[in-house]
Amino acid sequence: MSTDPATRVHVTIVLPCYNEQDHVVDEVERICKAMDNSGKTYELLAVDDCSSDATLERLEEAAPRFPHMRIMRFQHNSGAGTVRRIGSQQARGDIVVWTDADMSYPNERIPELVEILDTEPGVAQVVGARRTEEGTHKLLRVPAKWFIRKIAERLTNSKIPDLNSGLRAFRREIARPYLRLLPPGFSCVTTITIAFLSNQHPVQYVPIDYAKRAGKSKFRFTKDAYRYILQVLRMVMYFNPLKVLMPLALWLIVIGLLKGVFDMVVHFGYFANNTIMIFVTGLIIASMALLADLIVRSRGDV
């Protein structure tokens, strides 16, 4: 395949590769076979994120067999989010697909996700929603993900079967303004989901099977779960701060008013210090929420 940047294809598949030497070629073969059979023009952008094993060498050895594969090499480890952001920015396709190289996602179904975007113009993103959770720390991971997903659903007013699936296809032009918001780690998939939902870009979910990953997981439960929660709140604050701040403000104002009535009944003519503090705090947060909303609406990118 020509490496001329002007070369256009229909689909770009961004494949982050970090220490996947034992199975990366098998994954590339599975993806290319499915795309070749689909008849859609594509490129597979395999990005080596400064692997410490022979991942890059395996990709370079296999390159002659896969003419649609383009290899990028990072000089230092930057994280899956950075790989996906840069890969999406350099994509030549109108549709961008994200997936992983660990054999966990059914990448043979990538053409099916692309076909939905081709046949349904109103859909902006298609996500492979996993039926099961096969990751590490399963007993902790499942309830934590459920809790984070429920927060995201509440804040975006959307049903989200899978908030952080690594298999998804989306329209590049719609995603372009949000790529700069992607964090370097795993929560980039959460970010792109919330960015689309917060801006009324329809997201469709397709149930998929999820296999136990090959190789060693890079997920760290405590650190990554904390980052997921922060990223959900950060993204909703970025697009709709009233959703985060105003409920808290209203609760504090109502509690302050009720406490004030109680103080008037029990101690006529006297308001306790905590009553005043609660009420004033609610007013301050409400003012911050309105100011943040004004900034968001004047920004021009939502």
pLDDT tens, position by position, 118-177? 999 999 999 999 987 665 556 666 777 788 888 888 888 899 999 889 999 999 999 999
Residues whose CB is less than 8 angstroms from the CB of residue 230 and which lie 6 or more positions away in sequence, other chains included = none
Give the model's pLDDT for residue 134: 61
Query: 232, 237, 244, 249: which is closest to 295 by C-alpha?
Result: 237
Confidence tier at 186 by pLDDT (50, 70, 90):
low
Contact in structure between 184 and 82 (CB atoms under 8 Å): yes
CA distance 107 to 96: 14
pTM, to two decimals: 0.81
pLDDT tens, position by position, 60-85? 999 999 999 999 999 999 988 999 99
Give, in order, the Cα–Cα distances in Å from 79 to each of 75, 162, 186, 235.
12, 21, 8, 19
Contact in structure between 63 and 255 (CB atoms under 8 Å): no
CA distance 111 to 299: 36
Give the model's pLDDT for residue 123: 97
Give the model's pLDDT for residue 94: 96
Q: Is the pLDDT of residue 3 over 50?
A: no
Confidence tier at 1 by pLDDT (50, 70, 90):
very low
pLDDT tens, position by position, 192-248? 999 999 889 999 999 999 988 775 655 555 666 677 777 778 778 888 888 889 999
Give the model's pLDDT for residue 32: 97
Task: Find the DSSP H helices in 14-79.
Answer: 24-38, 55-62
Contact in structure between 48 and 17 (CB atoms under 8 Å): yes
CA distance 235 to 187: 11
Structural domain spans, the chain: 9-239, 241-299
pLDDT tens, position by position, 240-280? 888 889 999 999 999 999 999 998 888 877 888 999 999 99
CA distance 20 to 49: 10
Report residue 1 as tokens. Answer: 């395949």
One of 3.90.550.10, 3.40.605.10, 3.90.190.20, 3.40.50.1470 is the CATH number of 9-239, namely: 3.90.550.10
